[in-house]
Chain A
């Protein structure tokens, strides 16, 4: 299965610190995407990184992709209370977008 697995499953940090979440997958992919889900809400697309890219930035987000290790990381810098949410990586091969089980991130004030 190409399903991503996030690590850690839960992460709790102080406001202002950086948060790093990792994702590993099993098969070759076309792209990898990260989504955020606030409690009781739908998923919000954060960033897409293609298999021929190694790093991408968007505001306070930095995503890396290592296709040789079949892994990706999402770094959120200078975290804020509003970043508290679940973060999912999703891999796309030929067609389907397949999600991992997410990392629950809690930012403590």
Chain B
């Protein structure tokens, strides 16, 4: 039973399209995150939510809009996709907000914009 599951695993789309990535966790964690991993393996946090409330919003283009319908789900919608959006997007969760908790990651969504 997957702890943090993301769909889809692969996403190939054309520039200008709008796409969504879904994430669900069954760990009962309060806090969820989106990270972006570029081609050089650098992981950068994009957003974090705690109990459906936006906590961290890094300097991400406003074409990216997260939505958390409940604390077990955190989706990422991307408008007007650009070539530079190609990356692997990881969802993660932690037991609670704050320090001292390890993160559980999903297996990633590889987004390719052509």
Residues in A lying within 8 Å of B, measured CB to CB: 30-31, 33, 35, 37, 40-45, 48, 50, 86, 88, 92-99, 101-102
Contacts and interface: CB of A to CB of B under 8 A. Distances in A.
18 contacts: A30-B99, A30-B100, A37-B41, A40-B108, A41-B108, A42-B108, A43-B43, A45-B102, A45-B103, A92-B99, A94-B99, A95-B97, A97-B45, A97-B103, A101-B40, A101-B41, A101-B42, A102-B41
Contacts, number: 56
A56 B4 CA distance: 27
A97 B106 CA distance: 16
Contact of B102 (A33, A41, A96): A33
A93 B98 CA distance: 9
Contacts of B98: 95
Interface in B4-53: 4, 35, 40-45, 48
Task: Output the residue of B45, B55, B103 with the most chain A CB within 10 A.
Answer: B103
* Max count, chain B CB within 10 A of own CB: residue among A30, A35, A86, A97: A97
Nearest to B94: A97
Contact of A86 (B41, B56, B102): B41
